[in-house]
Amino acid sequence: RQVVVGSGEELYSRTLRARKVNLIAVDDLRERMRVAVKIRHRHEPAPALIESTSADEVLVKFDQPQRAVTPGQAAVFYDADIVVGGGWIQ
């Protein structure tokens, strides 16, 4: 095991990759889509653009950096109160 110590600023990220993406409200992502992304249970959904990078992977670009984007957590994509889809943070 390893403990890594860093500054609080290093906890923030503007992007993430999600794999094993399951789209619900759309058939596929041919173009970038504006959504709100929730990265944890109690996380306030954050505005972002998502774009497909492969058949089951998307790149998420947040408008503002998000704290503690954590691999293994789910990322859920919303259009208002409609679930667009989701995937697992890499």
Is residue 70 in some structural domain? yes
Other beta carbons within 10 angstroms of residue 19's beta carbon come to 14
Is residue 39 in some structural domain? yes
Q: Is 41 left (phi over 0), alpha (psi -120 to 50) or beta?
A: alpha
Average pLDDT per 10 consecutive residues for the chain, totaling 90 residues = 86 97 93 97 96 96 97 97 97
Domain harbouring 52, CATH code: 2.40.30.10
Asked if 14 contacts 69 with a C-beta cutoff of 8 angstroms, the reply is no
Is residue 49 in some structural domain? yes
Is residue 24 in some structural domain? yes
**CA–CA separation, 52 vs 31, rounded Å?**
8
pLDDT of residue 67: 96
- Which residue range is the domain that position 28 belongs to? 8-89
Is residue 33 in some structural domain? yes
**CA–CA separation, 12 vs 87, rounded Å?**
20
